[in-house]
Chain A
Amino acid sequence: MTLNEQEIEHLKEHIGHYPEPRAGAIYCLYFVQDKYGYIPRESMDEVGELTGLSPVQLDEIITFYTLLRRRPVGRNLIRVCTNISCHTRGAKEVLAAAQEQSGVPLGEISEDGSVTVLPSICLGLCDRAPAALVNDDEVLGELTPDKIRDEMARYVSQAMNSTEASANGRLIATLKPQSQEPK
């Protein structure tokens, strides 16, 4: 079980807004992802039961949509836009700096668990290019390689200062990928 009774009630209530339960799938998947930082296998069974979809059908949805994920990420997920408005203003260098600062290849969790960096399509922040979105919520605009490094350094110190490490309440209090524990 990954969802408690109250949460299941909440999800049922939301699904009831739609004429067909499967339309609530994205909402349920987001809900689970907010809780765990990703969508674990066990939750897929539960969401499947609520929406009438099989795990394969849910996977079909998850693999299609960029913001849903089956694997854990760092406590801060940084999406750096690489599209044209950002590209003309140095996005390539910003992404490179972010990756370098993370110390691991794109998409992987940094050793201390504090960040994952991903390239992204246009984030709708073209007027603040080059831009990045942190935890699907916090906007970083007018980036430079230095600025993104500084921001990332801030996440590391935040992580060190808080044992719960759920600074924004969204990502990812319960995330503890075995291989990625702070050393």
Chain B
Amino acid sequence: MEPILSRNFDQKTPLDLAGFRDRGGYASLNNILGRPRDELLQEVKDSGLRGCGGAGFPTGVKWGFLAKDAPHPVYLVINLDESEPGSCKDRQILYRDPHTIIEGVIASAYVLDADKAFVFVRGEYRSGAEGLEKAVQEAREAGYLGKNILGSGYSLDIDVHLSAGRYICGEETALLNALEGRRGNPRSKPPFPIVSGLWGQPTVVNNVETVSHVPYILTKGADWFKGQGINGGTGTHIYQVSGCVNKPGTFELPMGTTARELIYEHAGGLREGRELVAFQPGGTSTPFMLPEHLDIPLTWDGPSSVGSRLGTGGLIVMDDSICPIDYLINVVDFYAMESCGFCTPCRDGLPYLVHVMKKFEEGTATDKDLALVEELCDTIFPSTHCAHAPGAVMPVQGALKQFRHVFEAHIKNQCCTLQGGQ
């Protein structure tokens, strides 16, 4: 495997334009700009590239939904919000190699014939956004952005938009509201953004990692990209490992790498004397996988085969020093706090779920509470306006099966099983 997105991560400070070009940066554009768009779109489709923000929808198919006669301006919006705990992989590209993002945006925007691109950066990445802005400026001065890029007849500009916090702004329609200067409440779909997005114009929203792959797919070819993966995976992926491991970190690896390799080889294994209890493969909204799933390849399909999801590919590891219920309380509390407040099942249901789960930790839970947790999950899941609340309850629903004995032990012993009992 060739590292692509992280190929310049060996640099102490991010490369400036000259340094980036010395290492072959922006060369792809000479090859891409001016080529027929249909041909390029087909290459993206053939590559099997899928949305790296967590949804995993095939990128080429999504782009194909953009109508041929879509009214201009067409916008490309790059989602760099990534506020899901355990999932901050794109931060690395932003802080360590911003020109890679710009090259990806230009290539992708060209395929889409977009008129303008916005990179939507979460407020907590302020200095990263400043670095990106500087890189945009350099690219503009060098003629990679602006009117008639490299004499191709194609024009594009990039705006870096710094947001001001809130996890929900990573949801694509909430992001559009946020970008327009409104509260980040998700919009109803349809209409889908690709038909009517920013200011009512056709808008494609993509994750940073996704677009950063595009120049390489278009110059090296779909087959090359596919060949980067292993165990049935396609391309490379930026994985992250955090939580109860010795060396948390972010790693570009072949798509299809197993959790075992990630946890034990790249992230330095578990802390001394500790045992693996479970892990979430891709952020806090993904159901737990168990030690017996360590060898399942982390592809878009691997975790699904055991009821989980790849999500962002940001693994969070739970060892036996932490009670699964305490872990879940923390996770659901995050979603409760970050609810946009628009719909009741999410706004009121999630805090209630936290309240009931706390009873288990405090030792006051009864059988009724266990039934209530179950019922709450089943009620919240199908009843909300967007995927925020379902994302919160999915790991709980999984845990009710996988760790039912833990819930029951809390009831029986009237205390947290980690603090005695058991």
Contact = CB atoms under 8 A, between A and B. Distances in A.
Interface of A: 17-20, 22-27, 29-30, 51, 53, 60-61, 64-68, 82-85, 87-89, 121-129, 133, 136-137
Contact of B331 (A17, A64, A84, A89): A84
Interface residues of B, number: 53
B122 A124 contact: yes
Nearest to B200: A19
Nearest to A79: B124
A33 B328 CA distance: 36
B88 A122 contact: yes
Nearest to A91: B330
Given A84-B284, A124-B88, A127-B250, A61 B183 contact: yes
Contacts, number: 132
Given A88-B244, A124-B125, A133-B124, A25 B181 contact: yes
Interface of B: 82-88, 91, 122-127, 159, 161-167, 178-184, 199, 240-244, 248-250, 284, 314, 316-319, 321-322, 327, 330-331, 334, 337-338, 340
Given A88-B244, A126-B248, A128-B248, A83 B330 contact: yes
Contacts of B340: 64
Contacts of A67: 123-124, 164-165
Given A83-B330, A84-B243, A136-B126, A126 B180 contact: no
Contacts of A61: 181-183
A68 B183 CA distance: 13
B316 A84 contact: yes
Contacts of A23: 179-181
B337 A126 contact: no
Given A84-B331, A88-B244, 13 more contacts: A20-B199, A64-B340, A65-B123, A65-B164, A65-B165, A83-B334, A84-B86, A84-B243, A85-B86, A121-B167, A122-B83, A125-B88, A129-B242
Contacts of A25: 181
B248 A129 contact: yes
B284 A26 contact: no
